[in-house]
Structure 1
Amino acid sequence: MIAMSDLSKLTIAEARDALRKGDTSSVELTEACLAAIDGADVLGAFVHKTPEIALDRARAADARIKSGDAPAMCGIPIGIKDLFCTEGVASQAASKILEGFRPQYESTVSGRLKDAGAVMLGKLNMDEFAMGSSNETSVYGNAVNPWRADDSTEALTPGGSSGGSASAVAADLCLAATGTDTGGSIRQPAAFTGIVGLKPTYGRCSRWGIVAFASSLDQAGPMTKTVRDAAIMGQAMMGHDPKDSTSADRAVPDFEAMLTGDIRGKVIGIPTEYRMDGMPPEIAALWERGAEMLQDAGAELRQISLPHTKYALPAYYVIAPAEASSNLARYDGVRFGYRAKLEQGDGITEMYEKTRADGFGAEVKRRVMVGTYVLSAGFYDAYYNRARKVRALIKRDFDVVFAEGVDAILTPATPSAAFQLGQEFDDPVQMYLNDVFTVTVNLAGLPGISVPAGLDAKGLPLGLQLIGRPWEEGDLLNTAYAMETAAGFVAKPEKWW
């Protein structure tokens, strides 16, 4: 039998095997996670706990496993990011404007996991409407990274926007979590917390029932402790959904079966444009080491050029706010969520204005205003249309490289290790630079994965990113698996919470 205190530390693969052998039950696993969650409020990861739902699902999963008809995710306790609509459970996207919203339907992705027998422990913290790189824009307050720098008690960011998901997985509060990635919101927090984060090809995971930020960029994916777990959970999340017009009607292969670790003869591209001025030496050294690991495993390294990379951040920060301003127009205090208190004589215009002014946080307002500006009549061509053209060029850069035989591209995941919460930036653009290595992948609709690959001088985790060909998540996961094996990253945060 496995000790109760160790159950939440299991990976999905270990838990699945233990459940099948009868070494533990889903109820025991779930109780261990619920106890860990209750002891970790200081991390701010879980914002709506659902213990009754969790234990009901765990009991059902145990019965299903006994009957011998259970998929891989059956009985596995997970956390769900707060922008996946979950039936009867608060789904606020970490915003005051969705206060009190309990959807009467289930998002396709959380529904797929539920149908596979996964156990929902609760909803996870995030940046408001997924807008942020540090989880500091949430109505619930900050999520906190379980890692601390050597000999420091300073609270660090778990990254954003899927900060609660990253913190919960790294602190062993759940075995895995769902995240969403619009410009790096799965991969950057995964890198900051020493876990694996997979952003699938655009269209691989249904967006139906997920609160939208930027519809042409958003993509759900798994956040897990290992690459094998990302393969198992990713497969359960992906697949065609007729309710989402952007969902791809493509078969989802058995990703776990593709994890051979054999990458001999694979060509790994190293893009010259990602060598940024002022890149910290530790990030550059880690990137170099990652390339050597892949070469030692039998891959061929090739210097490649992605010439339009330097335009990716400005294009992203025109397109994403433009789509956000139109997606967020529906939050007006009329049908659901928060409505501001009105004075005598206030009409519908005042209700809209007061509700939106009061209900949205500062970062969301900033992006809605930027988005409304770039879509306005005089500026549409100058900004929005030009950004769309740049996006097409960025996608073409990748198409050319893949057509020349490159199988995957290796880059850093983030420009630094996790930084302090509350760090003052003179300018919001400095915070946006966190997405410098990740936004190109969203603009081009490609799959990307962040794999923990080492620690910096202060003992904080650093991640490397692999970018794959469209629809070839299985091949990408296998390359990531080879890198994970070579890196041998097993460090865990010291428990202080």
Structure 2
Amino acid sequence: MSQAHDILTSSAAGLVAAMEAGTWSCEQITRTHLDQIEALNPHVNSYLAVDAERALATARSIDARRAGGEKLGPLAGVPIAVKDLLCYAGLPTTAGSRILEGWMPPYDSTVVERLVAADLVILGKTNLDEFAMGSSTETSAYGTSRNPWDLDRVPGGSGGGSSSSVAAFMAPLAIGTDTGGSIRQPASVTGTVGVKPTYGGVSRYGIIAMASSLDQAGPCARTVEDAALLHEVIGGHDPRDSTSIDQPLPDVVAAARHGDVAGMRIGVVTELGGEGYAPGVEQRFTEAVALLREAGAEIVEVSCPHFVHAMAAYYLIMPAEVSSNLARFDAMRYGLRVGDDGENSTEDVMRASRGAGFGAEVKRRIMLGTYALSSGYYDAYYGSAQKVRTLIVRDFEAAFEACDVLISPSTPTTAFKIGERIDDPLAMYKADLCTIPSNLAGNASGSFPIGLAPEDGLPVGLQVMAPPMADDRVYRVGAAIERFLEQQWGRSMMAMAPRLEHSLLDDQGGN
């Protein structure tokens, strides 16, 4: 196999070990990933902006410091992709929207600051559904990202750019954000690992807000250990974020390396399965449950009766917050401005700019949210949805009194075809049936690969849900599943991924 193949298929932890051993330099690793992006991004559309010059300069600096004997962090020199919702000075931040086309933020988000401080190499910004509103990346103003397993299918959303960049070996790590499943659902359909930390466990400062009580940044990776290492870098208290939790982060890295579920009590949520779930998804989920039982976990069925109302509550709470947050994009201070010819009023310019700058899904959610918050309807809609949210929190609390973690499929189906649901919003929203409850409650949750569905050969994910600030339990169960499936298959999930035409994995003899 070629050097490019070995670099691209290595885990982040493996890349660090190779750099420390002198096998590869950070510059070699970075150039190889940039070459893979150049070869594949025209076909997969994972990246909206690539920062090659700064990435290579950072890589050379890290090589010099490592050669000088400086002690570097556990992910120093590892390339990473960042969802284009996080501010990174010197690189455009668009949120996948025309209304922010070309906007250059004057500061870094806290997550980006922590990546830079930990000496990761930021390759560029990844595609997403516009303002993170979608489950397929099809609402991006800059084109749909594609699933590396099948280019005619979606890579999930809203973080399909991050998930597809990792699945296509264009980055070993990526940052996503999760408001209703935007890390976990893409991870599930691309066969990667994606974790939504406890709400408040990772700072939201400098991340363009969609729904402030739901948004949470988190790691995307190809292995559980890599996700935990990245989580450790970006997590922890930030005084600039008023919702940030001021307590130590659980030891997620130790949990990922431990991976022993013996003695754990794991609850299978009965409401997250059955009608509407693809047979292959249910088959792989049943097999994963059996593996956990074989590994020594006690498996019990748990009912969370109010989960069936989670999607309805979410699609009132989230649009209401969207309506408020997106009011700031008014064409007066930054971004797109239309109709400013000196004759139109300020209101006319705002109306024309928002009409031209926002896509159909964003407009739909703004209108839904504005209606739900309007006089005479607030209590009936938004107020009632918040009451349902409280009942969902109580369902989780009762379940976690009886269980260490809860599990379910990550999403009801495998990746659907591009265009299949774009004109049916309700069908699109159902992709997040399993993930929404954890956003409403704010607890930790992650998606881990559990194999391929027999009917279409596409990835299936297992969702693991843990109590707030018990993120380590998510990694513990994920690591156990990863280890047992690798033993069963004799190779990792990503080693099974089809090799795309033009990829360096194929072009240079890898397979």
Structure 1-normalised TM-score? 0.97
**Structure 1 residue 426: Cα displacement:** 5.3
Q: Is the 8 A contact 2:81 2:123 kept in 1?
A: yes
Matched, 1:312 2:296: no
Equivalence for 1:459: 457
Matched, 1:204 2:209: no
Matched, 1:8 2:8: yes
Q: How does 1:188-199 map to 2 (within 5 A)?
A: 188-199=185-196
Equivalence for 2:137: 135
Aligned equivalent of 2:214, options 214, 217, 224: 217
Q: Could you list the runs of 5+ residues in structure 2 that have no partner in the other structure?
A: 487-491, 503-511
Q: Distance in 2 between matches of 1:187 and 1:72?
A: 24
Q: How does 1:389-404 map to 2 (within 5 A)?
A: 389-404=387-402
Change (3 A) 1:262 1:248: same
Q: Could you list the runs of 5+ residues in structure 1 that have no partner in the other structure?
A: 149-153
**Structure 1 residue 424: Cα displacement:** 4.6
Q: What residue identity is the alignment partner of 1:178?
A: I
Equivalence for 2:505: none
Q: How does 1:411-450 map to 2 (within 5 A)?
A: 411-424=408-421, 427-450=424-447
Q: Distance in 2 between matches of 1:78 and 1:48?
A: 13
Q: What residue identity is the alignment partner of 1:104?
A: P
Q: What residue identity is the alignment partner of 2:136?
A: S
**Residue-by-residue CA offset, 1:336-373 (whole Å, 9 max, x unaligned):** 11111335531011011001000000100000000100
Aligned equivalent of 1:102, options 98, 104, 124: 104
Q: Is the 8 A contact 2:421 2:427 kept in 1?
A: no
Name whichever of 483-492 and 471-480 sits farther off: 483-492
Q: Is the 8 A contact 1:80 1:165 kept in 2?
A: yes
**Structure 1 residue 475: Cα displacement:** 2.1
The percent of aligned pairs where both chains have the same amino acid is: 45
Q: Distance in 2 between matches of 1:479 and 1:468?
A: 10
- SS for the counterpart of 2:393 is helix
Shift >3 Å, 4+ stretches: none
**Structure 1 residue 104: Cα displacement:** 0.9
Q: Distance in 1 between matches of 2:167 and 2:421?
A: 26
**Structure 1 residue 284: Cα displacement:** 1.5
Matched, 1:116 2:118: yes
Structure 2-normalised TM-score? 0.94
Q: What residue identity is the alignment partner of 2:44?
A: L
**Structure 1 residue 474: Cα displacement:** 1.4
Aligned equivalent of 2:497, options 483, 492, 497: 492
Equivalence for 2:372: 374
Q: Is the 8 A contact 1:176 1:225 kept in 2?
A: yes
**Structure 1 residue 425: Cα displacement:** 5.4
Q: Distance in 2 between matches of 1:493 and 1:432?
A: 28
- SS for the counterpart of 1:244 is coil
Q: Tell me the matched-pair count.
A: 491
Q: Is the 8 A contact 1:2 1:23 kept in 2?
A: no
Matched, 1:64 2:69: no
Q: What residue identity is the alignment partner of 1:474?
A: D
**Structure 1 residue 250: Cα displacement:** 1.2
**Structure 1 residue 301: Cα displacement:** 0.4
Equivalence for 1:334: 332
**Residue-by-residue CA offset, 1:240-296 (whole Å, 9 max, x unaligned):** 000000000111244222321221110000111112323222122112111111111
Q: Distance in 1 between matches of 2:2 and 2:172?
A: 15
Q: Is the 8 A contact 1:322 1:372 kept in 2?
A: yes
Q: Is the 8 A contact 1:74 1:116 kept in 2?
A: yes
Aligned equivalent of 2:174, options 174, 177, 190: 177
Equivalence for 1:151: none
Equivalence for 1:227: 224
**Residue-by-residue CA offset, 1:25-77 (whole Å, 9 max, x unaligned):** 11000000000000012110111110011011111222233323100111000
**Residue-by-residue CA offset, 1:194-218 (whole Å, 9 max, x unaligned):** 1000100000000000000000000
**Structure 1 residue 420: Cα displacement:** 0.8
**Structure 1 residue 80: Cα displacement:** 0.6
Q: Distance in 1 between matches of 2:278 and 2:472?
A: 32
Q: What residue identity is the alignment partner of 1:329?
A: A
Name whichever of 17-26 and 5-14 sits farther off: 5-14
Q: Distance in 2 between matches of 1:271 and 1:122?
A: 38
**Structure 1 residue 478: Cα displacement:** 1.1
Change (3 A) 1:210 1:426: closer
Matched, 1:242 2:242: no
**Structure 1 residue 422: Cα displacement:** 1.4
Q: Is the 8 A contact 2:285 2:450 kept in 1?
A: no
Name whichever of 91-100 and 281-290 sits farther off: 281-290
Change (3 A) 1:42 1:425: closer
**Residue-by-residue CA offset, 1:298-351 (whole Å, 9 max, x unaligned):** 100011110101100000000011001100000000001111133553101101
Q: Could you say what the CA RMSD is over the residues aligned between the two structures, in angstroms?
A: 1.3
Name whichever of 275-284 and 183-192 sits farther off: 275-284
- SS for the counterpart of 2:258 is coil
